[in-house]
């Protein structure tokens, strides 16, 4: 019964063409809107980035030379023992 109703509905080629054109216009509008929003967000992000760079230039960097005396004075926290001298603990694997 549904096929008879669908057969009676006649869509003219003009209506089909208008529908396809409206769909295409909507699709292009959505893509253009997304691209504009992306461009706008990128523009705002670059402006914030420039502000951060300008603010960071107000501070000077402070660095201390690395002392080799302190680097050589470090000692190992644990003594290194070769694996042959370490006691073997028995383990069971199932």
Residue 67 lies in a domain: no
Residue 85 lies in a domain: no
pTM of the full structure: 0.40
Across 32-41, 46-55, 78-87, least confident range? 78-87
Residue 79 lies in a domain: no
Residue 88 lies in a domain: no
In angstroms, the CA 55 to CA 49 distance is 10
Phi, psi of 24, rounded to the nearest 5 degrees: -65, -40
Residue 65 lies in a domain: no
Between the two ends of the chain, the Cα-to-Cα distance in Å is 69
What domain count does the chain have? 1
Cα 3 vs. chain centroid, distance in angstroms? 50
**Structure tokens of 42?**
């990128």
In angstroms, the CA 23 to CA 17 distance is 10
Q: What is the pLDDT of residue 76?
A: 60
Residue 38 lies in a domain: yes
Q: Which residue has the higher pLDDT, 87 or 23?
A: 23
Q: Which residues span the domain enclosing 16?
A: 2-59
**Structure tokens of 45?**
């992000």
């Amino acid at each position: 019964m549904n096929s008879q109703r669908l057969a009676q509905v006649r869509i003219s080629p003009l209506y089909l063409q208008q529908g396809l054109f409206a769909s295409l216009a909507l699709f292009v509008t959505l893509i253009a809107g997304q691209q504009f929003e992306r461009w706008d967000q990128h523009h705002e992000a670059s402006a914030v980035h420039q502000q951060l760079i300008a603010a960071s230039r107000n501070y000077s960097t402070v660095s201390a030379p690395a002392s080799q005396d302190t680097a050589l004075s470090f000692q190992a926290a644990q003594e290194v023992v070769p694996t042959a001298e370490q006691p073997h603990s028995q383990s069971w694997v199932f």
